[in-house]
Amino acid sequence: MANQTVLDTITLETIPKSWQSDCIAQLNSTAYDWTHGLVGGHGQALSGLTNATWGITIETCEKYCNHIKIPFVFDFQSFSSSMTNYFLPWLALTAQLPFETGDFLTNAMAFCMAVGSPALVTFSLSITILNRYWVRKEFDDLQTKARSPTVRSRYEIFSDRVQACRLILQEAQQVPLRVCQSRGYFSSLIVLPENAAWWERVERRLKSTRRNVTASLVAQMAFAGIAYLFTVIASFQADLGDPATALQIASGSIWIWLQIPIIAGWITVGTQYSHHSIEDALRAEPAFRALQPPVQHGAELSDPDEQAGLVVQPGLNPLPHNHQTAHGGFDVADIRRLELPTWLGAEVGGDERLKGPIFNYARLFTWWQLASSIDHALFETMENVTRGVICARTPPPTLPGKWTAESHLRGDSGEVATYCNLNINSSILAYPEWSTIPSKVYKRIFEAMFVALFLQWGTTGASIMIAYLTPTTGLGCRSGSYLLYGVLGTSSWLLLLVSMLLSHEVMLRYQIEHHNNPTTDFRRHPDPGARTYVRTWSHSTLCGLAVVLRVFGKFLAIANTLFLLATSLMEFVGGFNNCWCMGNWIGMGNEGWIVLFKGADALSAAASLPWGGGLALALLVCFLSYTFFFFGSLKTDDDQFSKKILTILVRWCLGMGI
């Protein structure tokens, strides 16, 4: 027989219409022996119901409070409250993620890759910021040189060209942009002063199509954050210690990475609002190009036409025939010959070909190759301008004495290409060889990996902490779900990263063949009589591994997204209100127990530290992550200010013992 006084007190303190109250009522209405199956606050067995009794064992629970004795009842009021407070505000914010892939299915995949793998979207954001920072520093040096008295007196508008190139490189990470020397267009864009208007209009268009902060976005993020904050404060005041509320807070906290660091980070960095805005900007205005030899003096330039020097185009760069390049010609083979065969219907080039910021992780090598090619061409051009070198091999007799860009930078396509050091020995490749990739690129990769892991496990770990340490402490359905979510999200990111590396090696082997034989037809069904290429066994194996790992990584991201949504809904409808989940059977087995007999005071004392610590950890991780994103996106003029602020933050963290 139960101690009726204690039982009456417990009944009054227990949340009405809860699973715990139903279980107590079930125990009280049956022939339960109140001397067995009772436990204290640490799971130790007790022989009777006293003020020291916390709950019952899993075995007792399963006997008297199983799903047959306490059938599932859907509580719409509790469900709607939890959904509107902890779930829907975060889910609505996913619409603010920068998709811009140009295709509904690819946008859906980008959504799953972001939600299913926070590490992946954080890595793409971090590598984007680090690349932009490198461009800013590198092109500031070029800008300083372009503004020197010597260069300005001879080629005054060249500094504007450097600025435009910098903007293009910063904005173009979300598309597979290529440098192409077809018909000598790229060298003409770099060298010829007649293309100043083209650069100016491209820069202006890219600035106008940039996705900036809007009032509606700020309002949506603010309302979501304030609603979550008020809900958490109310929970601390009214339901502190309630396991169901703890799990709802943990469920909301696992989404917190989405608002503060990721969405705010992408908005701070800035992306293009459309998948075709970069391509439209590059193709909107005509440009001049140097004609192929032989040309007559005064007729070196073509009529303005659509340029082909900077193109949004995945895959291999079309290379000119070597014997033509040696004589100044830059005709390339039919680009359709560069269509690579698939592996079981899947593209072997990987996600590098897909538009959208989420896929920036796959473009880190090709983007660096693009940036270094442009950087090299600008530097060589300025060096020649500084030394007063003229473009034409044979100076025209009417050349004026004063060095000006309009008169001294005239020549055929071969001479213009040589001026920026793009001769026969300087083929513009899309994929850099492993040996040519500098250590600073790998340094950026490891830095981005650290930030990705820090944010993924900082926020996921906070949710695990809240769910794990709320009585009954231990690994249960909810904390185990968060742990599995973190593991699957990290695994998906690592698989996609390895797949990207394998795809790069696959494309390098194709590129070597194309470089040695520019007329090779790579298609599965080549033109009659064309030179063909057949993949070796090792090449095919690499293709297969790259495809399989990429498909499996995306499958994990999709599965993890569905798993997160399903577990959140399970919690909100009460799907975890059963003996196995309430007793943390996953981690404790038959040693698990269920909290039944403690009210708000005891539960508050036990839960205040894990709840407060978990929320503080999540907010601190988000704050530090966004701090990195924010200062990494500052203009160079603000670098000294950012260094001072970062120094203060580091000292504060050290002083707090973080």
| The Cα angle at residue 198 between residues 295 and 145, in degrees rounded to 5 | 90
Q: What is the pTM of this model?
A: 0.90
Q: What is the DSSP letter of 526?
A: P
CB-based contact 316:510 (threshold 8 Å): yes
Angle between helices 439-469 and 243-253 (to 10 degrees): 170
Residue 99 phi/psi, 5-degree rounding, is: -80, -75
Beta strands in 360-496 (DSSP E): none
Q: Are 46 and 53 in contact (CB under 8 A)?
A: yes
* Residue 156 CB contacts under 8 Å (≥ 6 apart), including other chains: 405
- pLDDT tens for residues 272-322? 888 899 999 999 899 998 887 776 666 667 778 888 889 999 999 887 765
Sheet holding 55-57, edge to edge: 45-46, 38-39, 55-57, 593-595
Task: Give the strand pairing for 210-211 and 286-287.
Answer: unpaired
Residues in Cβ contact with 208 at an 8 Å cutoff, skipping those fewer than 6 apart: none
Q: Which residue has the higher pLDDT, 619 or 221?
A: 619
Reported as a single tens digit per residue, the pLDDT across 143-194 is 999 999 999 999 999 999 999 999 999 998 999 999 988 888 999 999 999 9
Whether the pLDDT of residue 368 is over 70: the answer is yes
Q: Which residues pair with 300 in a beta bridge?
A: none
Mean pLDDT, rounded, for 509-517? 91
Flag whether pLDDT at 641 surpasses 70: no
Computed from CA positions of residues 262, 265, 269, 272, in that sequence, does the dihedral angle turn out positive or negative? positive
Question: In a 3-state reduction of DSSP, which class is residue 250?
Answer: helix
Alpha-carbon span 154 to 387, nearest angstrom: 11
pLDDT tens digits for range 585-605: 998 888 899 988 877 677 767
* pLDDT-wise least confident of 246-255, 542-551, 634-643: 634-643
Residue with tokens 């530090």, as numbered in its chain: 624
Check whether 638 has a pLDDT greater than 50: no
pLDDT (0 to 100) of residue 526: 86
Please say whether the beta carbons of 634 and 136 come within 8 A.
no
Across 47-61, 431-445, 642-656, the highest mean pLDDT is recorded for 431-445
Write out the two tokens for 49: 């119901």
